Amino acid sequence: MSLHHAASRFALAVQEEDPQKTYKALSQITASCIACHAQFKLR
């Protein structure tokens, strides 16, 4: 669910047209993807 929450925060930040807030929200999306993929990494 963290990806969905991060995506919602990103959408709100884009609507606010705040570049710093938007970049931070995008970083949270990326971090969520990385965390999930790390859990299912094949060894």
Mean pLDDT for the stretch of residues 17-42: 91
Predicted confidence at residue 41, as pLDDT, reads 74
Question: Residue 14 is part of which domain span?
Answer: 2-39
Return the pLDDT at 7: 96
Mean pLDDT value across residues 8-32: 96
C-alpha distances out from residue 17 to 12, 22, 29, 35, 36, Å: 9, 8, 18, 27, 28
Number of H helices, E strands in the chain: 2, 0
Reply yes or no on whether the pLDDT at 16 is more than 90. Answer: yes
Is-contact 26 11, C-beta < 8 A?
no
Look at the chain and report how many structural domains it folds into: 1
